[in-house]
Amino acid sequence: MELPNHAKQLLLQLNQQRAKGFLCDVIIVVENALFRAHKNILAASSIYFKSLVLHDNLINLDTEMVNPSVFRQVLDFIYTGKLLSSLDQSSEQNFSALLTAASYLQLHDLAALCRKKLKRNGGKPLPGKPSTPGPLSRLRLNNQRLSTSTPAGPKNHYPTPSDADQPQPDEGLRDKLSDDEMFVGSSARNGNGGNGSSNGNLSSGGSAGEPDLGLDLSKKSPPSAGTATDALSPHSNSQESPQSASVSTTNSASLDDSSTTLPGLDACGSETTDLNPKASEETQNQPDGPPPQKKSRQGARKNEWPKKEASGLKSEDHDRPLVNGVIVGPKDGRSSDQAFQCKDEEDAGENGQDHTDESGQSDGESAGGRGGTGGGNHSANYVYRQEGFEPAFGDNLYVCIPCGKGFPSSEQLNAHVETHNEDELYIKEEGGTFVKEEDEEEAEDLSAAVGPSSFGSEARPFKCTVCSKSYKDPATLRQHEKSHWLTRPFPCNICGKMFTQRGTMTRHMRSHLGLKPFACEECGMRFTRQYRLTEHMRVHSGEKPYECQLCGGKFTQQRNLISHLRMHTSPS
DNA sequence: CTGGGGAGGGGGCCC
DNA sequence: GGGGCCCCCTCCCCA
């Protein structure tokens, strides 16, 4: 007794579920595209995936081996057994790319299909050069890692050109590569790579040339085991994963949480952007501990989050390069910078202004290496389009921060920027002085009212040459100095936003991926940060440690006291 | 409708 | 690299 078409029907169902994101338990990140899938399916189709999904819910694929468009076809193939090529995808080049990807992902059937197709098309598969630069080294590296029982290099290490250079052929794995695959080894890539890590002199700070995909965004473990957080593994098993070196890993089980509703990030516009509200609701309604005290409210909150994300990543963002224009505001301190940057970015997007066409990669940042004056390839985009500034510069909306010159287009600005050397990458403050604005004075007053200033009177021998702030130790000073750089060293690989600190970027990535490792034991609500949870717990405890000295009002959060104090101090 | 409070979320930045 | 705190933005609720 056998049910005809059983397998086919099953696969069909699974593919439909994938399209809806239903029960998907793994996210594959390819460049700026996210693909949801089922671990079981991936594991069944490739031993490579099998080893990856064992411990990881988030997999980053090497973008030199596979691009979103190709991976979409690969995923379709996995779920359907068919190679669905549209006209533009039936080209030889596409099959070459598919073959590269299939080999990389160890999808042998797909690789065989591609080879067959390529041979049929013209004898020699993959003639000339591969569709992606130098994939053999990557293949070799990749397979090398597969074969080793211990992770190669530090956790989350991302392969760099120099890695690829290391001649460590693994014969056992080499065997796995067909002749077709082997031939592509034309490219022993030189250390400088092809894509702009022009400074061979990258410091160990190492952000340069090191894509930040290899980040473990699930570092946090829940404050306590059990309850709503039980799904979170407190440890990262990436060490155990043979591929940990090439993928970013996460054990955060929040994939089954409502927060996993992913914003549309797929540059291909495939079903990965499909936010199925129903599915979202289904997952959001899953009981995750005791019901929230303010159920409706918190439910609304939960529903907000994908919406907010969606608004944060507008459709035009999908067309942006991964590392796009940096918009740098005047650095006089903290918050103004933030507000400025966000607004500016959005404005630029809405106005359709093109600041994304620059050379893009913010490599060669020499992060942590301040010494080099080697100029090099600073693709900083000093696009600077603040409303208030426009009249001053007329039509020249693209302003070089260091020298203040305005340019009518980003191209011209970038050409100009090249004339600055690295030393000038620091933003010159006007006259080197800081004019304390009224807002700041007010803020200072307010913070004096709520607590001691963060800058005490203890010895701070390390002084910033740009803004004269002083610090206790040189590392902190260095960290601070990055805030003056025109090019922020740490780009988000999903939205391209740039950050001055890696930690901030990592935290930001968590928000993209919906990772909320901190769960409230009382109501099951989850947070991206420990601090938020601490704050939140006051809701349950009723603790209101922040008291207004003027009216005696008490608040659970300091920010609300501050905002309350504004009410007292504002003229109205 | 409006103002104030509560609270979630994101980024900057110092330690 | 992570923790913690500060700031801002925003939304929702309620009087």
Instruction: Tell which residue, A154, A151, A157, has the closest CA to residue A62.
Output: A157
| Three state DSSP letters for A104-146 | HHCCHHHHHHHHHHHHHHHCCCCCCCCCCCCHHHHHHHHHHHH
Beta-carbon contacts of A541 under 8 Å, excluding residues fewer than 6 positions away, are none
Using the CB atom, is residue A447 less than 7 Å from strand C? yes
User: Is the pLDDT confidence value at A441 over 70?
Assistant: no
Q: Calculate the average pLDDT of chain A.
A: 54
**pLDDT for A223:** 36
Q: Are strands A58-60 and A26-30 parallel, antiparallel or unpaired?
A: parallel
Is the distance between the Cβ of A501 and the closest atom of strand C smaller than 7 Å? yes
Return the minimum-mean-pLDDT range out of A266-275, A413-422, A459-468. Answer: A266-275
Q: Is the CB of A216 under 7 A from strand C?
A: yes
Which nucleotides in chain C lie less than 7 Å from some protein C-beta? Answer: 1-13
pLDDT confidence of residue A511: 80
Q: Is the CB of A502 under 7 A from strand B?
A: no
Residue A476 Cβ under 7 A from any strand B atom: yes
Closest CA to A236 of A224, A253, A223: A253
Closest CA to A488 of A434, A429, A425: A425
Whole-model pTM: value is 0.39
The answer to whether the C-beta of A310 is closer than 7 A to strand C is no
Q: Is the CB of A235 under 7 A from strand C?
A: no
C-alpha to C-alpha distance for A241 and A244, rounded to whole angstroms: 5
Query: Do the Cβ atoms of A399 and A407 come closer than 8 Å?
Result: yes
Half-sphere exposure of A475 (CA within 13 A, CB side): 2
Q: Which residue has the tokens 């073959």?
A: A99
Q: What is the pLDDT of residue A417?
A: 52
Give the model confidence (pLDDT) of A310-327 as tens digits. 333 333 333 333 322 222
* A260 Cβ contacts chain B strand, under 7 Å: no
Most confident residue range from A107-111, A384-388, A423-427, A540-544? A107-111
Residues of A from 339 to 398 whose C-beta is within 7 A of strand B: which are they? 341-342
Cβ of A471 < 7 Å from strand B? yes
In this structure, are residues A254 and A514 in contact, taking their beta carbons and an 8 Å threshold?
yes
Nucleotide closest to residue A439 (CA–C1'): C7
pLDDT in tens, A320-379: 333 222 222 223 333 333 333 333 333 333 333 333 333 333 333 333 333 333 333 333
3-state secondary structure of A67: coil
Q: What is the pLDDT of residues A219-258, one digit of tens each?
A: 433 333 333 333 333 333 333 333 333 333 333 333 333 3
A44 within 8 A of A55, measured Cβ to Cβ: no
Q: CA of A383 and C1' of B13: distance in angstroms?
A: 23
Report which residue type is found at A422: E
Q: Give the distance, in angstroms, between the CA of residue A344 and the centroid of all CA atoms in the same chain.
A: 20
pLDDT at A373: 31
The pLDDT of residue A32 is 65
Q: Is residue A228 within 8 Å of A520, Cβ to Cβ?
A: yes
* Rg for chain A, CA atoms, rounded: 26
Q: Is any atom of nucleic acid chain B found less than 7 Å from the CB of residue A331?
A: yes
- Nearest in space to A27 (alpha carbons), one of A325, A282, A259, A346: A259
> How far in angstroms lies nucleotide C9's C1' from the CA of residue A29?
29
> By mean pLDDT, which of A70-79, A176-185, A210-219, A261-270 is the weakest?
A176-185
Q: Which nucleotide across the nucleic acid strands is nearest to A542, CA versus C1'?
A: B6
What's the token pair of residue A387? 């409303």
Q: Which residue has the higher pLDDT, A216 or A571?
A: A571
Taking the C-alpha atoms of residue A36 and residue A380, their distance in angstroms, rounded to an integer, is 33
Question: Three-class SS string for A19-39?
Answer: HHCCCCCEEEEECCEEEEECH
Exposure b/e, A230-256, CB count within 10 A at least 16 = b: eebbeebebeebbbbbbbbbbbbbbbe
